[in-house]
Amino acid sequence: MEYLDAAFQYFGYESFHEFAFWVAKNPYEFLVSVMIVLTPMFIISGILAFYLLKAIEKEEREKKKREKRLQNIKEDQDPGDKPKSGKKAKSHSAKKGKKSQKAD
């Protein structure tokens, strides 16, 4: 307990027992002192937790975007599918033929 006594001597008490008696005699003063010390730490902890939450949410959104982008790239590169430009060209030429028939 010598290391504790050294710590309490730093704060102006001869030993842990003297500090314990002070706490027993003045519990409200002790609790107020503890709350004064802990309140800023709780506030800082809450702020940092909020920033961490936002960073995690942002990372999850970016991950979903990357996965969706990769999925779209895989769908475009699938060898079994016909190219999109070919589908558009066929439908485009078919429309031209119908228009020319209407004009006749």
Q: Per residue in 41-64, pLDDT tens?
A: 999 999 999 999 999 999 999 999
In this prediction, residue 102 carries a pLDDT of 55
Encode burial over 66-96: b for 16+ CB neighbours within 10 A, e otherwise. eeeeeeeeeeeeeeeeeeeeeeeeeeeeeee
pTM over 0.75: no
pLDDT under 50 in the chain at which residues?
104
